[in-house]
Chain A
Amino acid sequence: MAEATGLRNLQVVDDWAADVEVFRGVPWGKAMMWIFLLSDTFIFTCFLTAYMTVRMTTSEPWPNPSEVFALEAFGVPVPLLLIAIMTFILITSSGTMAMAVNMGYRRRRGPAALLMVITALLGASFVGMQAFEWTKLIMDEGVRPWGNPMGAPQFGSTFFMITGFHGLHVSAGVVYLAVVAWRVWRGRYEKQGYDIVEITGLYWHFVDLVWVFIFAFFYLW
């Protein structure tokens, strides 16, 4: 036996060096979902970096998102009202998703499927509000990908690109959740176990995670 000293004591070194599967005890579907999410992280960060670059280099004033995305409530303009509601909806859906994962592993497939459906409905309402936001921006504010009345034309191109790609992820997630919820409800995973709910959850939490960065960098900055 080799002496168990130094680096050999580290579990991580052992895992990577053992010439067997690296992610021990991790279902392959979960490892693959994580790797997919890692690649998605690169895509979204490239978009956000592009946004940072055009915002830092434009010689025209950047439209104030606090005013552009203000909504009137009870006769007073409230900054970012819709965006705040959308943020809270997405966080709530992340919470119901976490509950669904928990219920899945307890083998209570009824509640698990129900919580996934609630998550999907919250996600669908998020996409609906985004459609409303886009419509207002295009019809009322005159924002186009190539220009807008408020200032730097890059505002429109980066906004539609980033929120559009995120909205696409939410929409795909709603379909994904609906399909898995249906299969959970039907009892398809009774034999193989409920890792699938956790894997679906990883994707959904990632969508929420991306929104955290978009909220901070695009709407609040």
Chain B
Amino acid sequence: MAADTGQQHPISVYFWIWTLLFVFSAASYTVDYIGFQGYMRWTLIIIFMMLKAGFIVAIFMHMRWERVALITAILVPPGALLVLVALMAMESDYTWATRILYFGEDPAPVPLPPPSH
């Protein structure tokens, strides 16, 4: 019989994380239900999202008990994605401005001055 090399942890750990995931989901739903807007909303959503994602990867997917070689191989490459997100966000700014300039409807049209020639 082959020896199991796998992850074995007390079940109570899973129950704790399970409860936490419920709490964080309820919290992020409450953010929408109460109707927070602007930076308050975005900050809270991101915090609860990162907490949930972190606990799923660290505990449910056992990442915190893996060897550093595996952790780095899996968690470092997505850093490139953050660069992509940053680049696209920067590009979006002027794409939007260009669209408003050429396709947008002016909410308060100012009449052109009479020709001066």
A58: which B residues are within 8 A, CB to CB? Answer: 96, 99
With the chains together, A26 CA to B67 CA distance in Å?
9
A91-B53 CB under 8 A given contacts A31-B70, A45-B84:
no
Q: Which of under 10, 10 to 19, 20 to 34, or 35 or more describes the interface residues of A?
A: 35 or more
- CB pair B22–A88 under 8 Å, yes or no, is yes
Q: Render A34-69 as a binary contact track against B, CB cut-off 8 A, 1 for contact.
A: 110110011001100100110011110000001000
Q: Which residues 9-50 of B sit at the A interface, judged by CB distance below 8 A?
A: 9, 11, 14-15, 17-18, 21-22, 25, 28-29, 31-33, 35, 41-42, 45-46, 48-49
Chain B residues within 8 Å of chain A by Cβ, number = 60
With the chains together, A215 CA to B92 CA distance in Å?
22
Majority secondary structure of chain A interface residues (helix, strand, loop or mixed): helix
B70: which A residues are within 8 A, CB to CB? Answer: 23, 26, 31, 34
A66-B66 CB under 8 A given contacts A193-B2, A216-B45:
no
In the complex, which of the residues B35, B42, B70, B100 has the most CB atoms of chain A within 10 Å of its own CB atom? B70
- CB pair A193–B3 under 8 Å, yes or no, is yes
- CB pair B18–A91 under 8 Å, yes or no, is yes
**In this assembly, does B116 line the interface, its C-beta being within 8 Å of a C-beta of chain A?**
no
**In this assembly, does A95 line the interface, its C-beta being within 8 Å of a C-beta of chain B?**
yes
A-to-B contact residues, CB < 8 Å: 10-12, 15-16, 22-27, 31, 34-35, 37-38, 41-42, 45-46, 49, 52-53, 56-59, 66, 79-80, 84, 87-88, 91-92, 94-95, 97-99, 101-102, 104-106, 190-195, 198, 201-202, 205-206, 208-209, 212-213, 215-217, 219-221
B-to-A contact residues, CB < 8 Å: 1-9, 11, 14-15, 17-18, 21-22, 25, 28-29, 31-33, 35, 41-42, 45-46, 48-49, 52-53, 56-57, 60-62, 66-70, 72-74, 77-78, 81, 84-85, 88-89, 91-93, 95-96, 99-100, 103-104
9 interchain residue pairs of minimum CB distance: A56-B92, A15-B69, A12-B68, A216-B49, A95-B18, A57-B95, A98-B14, A59-B99, A45-B81
